[in-house]
Amino acid sequence: MSGIIAQNSGRHTGLVKASSGGGGVWNLIKTYTASSDSDLSFVDGTDGVDFTAYDEFVFKFSDIHPSNASTRFSFNGSIDAGSNYNVTKTTTMFIAGHIEDDSDALLTYQTGDDLAQSTSFQDLAAYGESETANDGCLAGTLHLFGLSDTTFVKHFIARTNYMAAGGPYSVDSYTAGYFNTTSAIDAIQFKFSSNNIDAGTISLYGIS
C-alpha cells in the first residue's frame, strides 16, 4: 500500500482500505419493532432479508414483552418462504435461575422444553412463563449457521435472559439444536406461545 491508504492503515476515522477478507462486519439487515404483533417473521426476499448472503446470522432480542401471562417466547423455521413454519428439530435446553428474594437458585436441564424430531416452535425462555409486569422482558441472541446450505442440517445456538413469572426469577436460558433438514431455511418466525408480542425489537445481522 502507498499514499493515503497506507497513511490511514489502522485508523478509525476518514477513509481506509476495505477488508480484503470481505468483511468481518456485523451487517444489520433488518429490525422489527413489535407493537401487539401476533408474530414477527423474517422472510428471505422481503424487506432486504437474504438468508443466502452469509454463513452465520444473529438475531438480537431487546425488551421483548408479552401482552399476557402464561406464555413463552419461541421460534421456528420455514423451507417455503414463510408459508409454513414447521421444520423438524432436535434440541437441548438448560437454564440457570435465581429468584428475586434470594430463596431459590438452580441450574437444570429442561426436559419439558427441548424437542426431539418435532416440528413445534422451540422455546427460547423455558423456566416458567414470562413475567407480564410492566418492566418484565426478555433479551438475548440467536445464532444460526449455514441456513442456505443444502448438504448439512442447520445448527442454532441461543442464549436469553428474561424475567420469569413465579418469583419473579432472573433466568439465563440456553437453547441449541439443529433443524433436521438439508433444505435451505428461508424464513424464521418468532412468537409467544399464546397472545401477542406487545413490545420489543428483533434485529437480524449477517456476519461477513
Partner 1 sequence: MTGIVAQNVGRTSGLIKSAGGGGGVWTKIKEITASSDSDISFVDGTDDVVLDSTYPIYVFKFINLHPSNDDVKIGFQGSTDTGSSYGVTLTSTVFLAYHDESDSGTALTQSTTRDEAQSSSFQDIIDDLGNDNDQSASGELWLFSPSSTTYVKHWVSTIQIYNSGNNSVIFKTGGYFNTTSAIDAIQFKCTEGSGGAGNIDAGKIKLYGLGDS
Residues that bind partner 1 (CB under 8 A): 5, 8, 11-27, 55-56, 90-94, 107-109, 111, 114-117, 145-146, 149, 151-153, 155-157, 174, 176-178, 180, 182, 207-208
For partner 1, the closer of residues 26 and 32 by Cβ is: 26
How many Å separate Cα 140 from the centre of its chain? 7
| Cell numbers at 68, concatenated | 399476557
Kindly state the smallest distance separating residue 198's Cβ from partner 1, in Å: 30
Cβ 35 to partner 1 shortest distance, Å? 29
Ordered strands of the 154-164 beta sheet: 26-33, 197-207, 56-66, 138-145, 154-164, 169-179, 89-99, 105-109
CB nearer to partner 1: give 1 or 134. Answer: 1
The least CB distance from residue 127 to partner 1, in Å, is: 13
Nearer to partner 1 among residue 103 and residue 117 (C-beta):
117
From the CB of 21, what's the least distance to partner 1, in Å?
Answer: 4
Please, which residues bridge with residue 85 across strands? none
How far apart, in Å, are the Cα atoms of 109 and each of 40, 96, 127, 174? 28, 9, 10, 9
User: In the complex with partner 1, which residue's Cβ is closer, 37 or 113?
Assistant: 113
Closer residue to partner 1 in complex, CB, 54/85: 54
Residue keyed to cell 407480564: 132
Residues 6+ apart with CB under 8 A from 114: 91, 92, 93, 177
Cβ 29 to partner 1, closest distance in Å?
11
Q: First and final CA of the chain: distance in angstroms?
A: 24
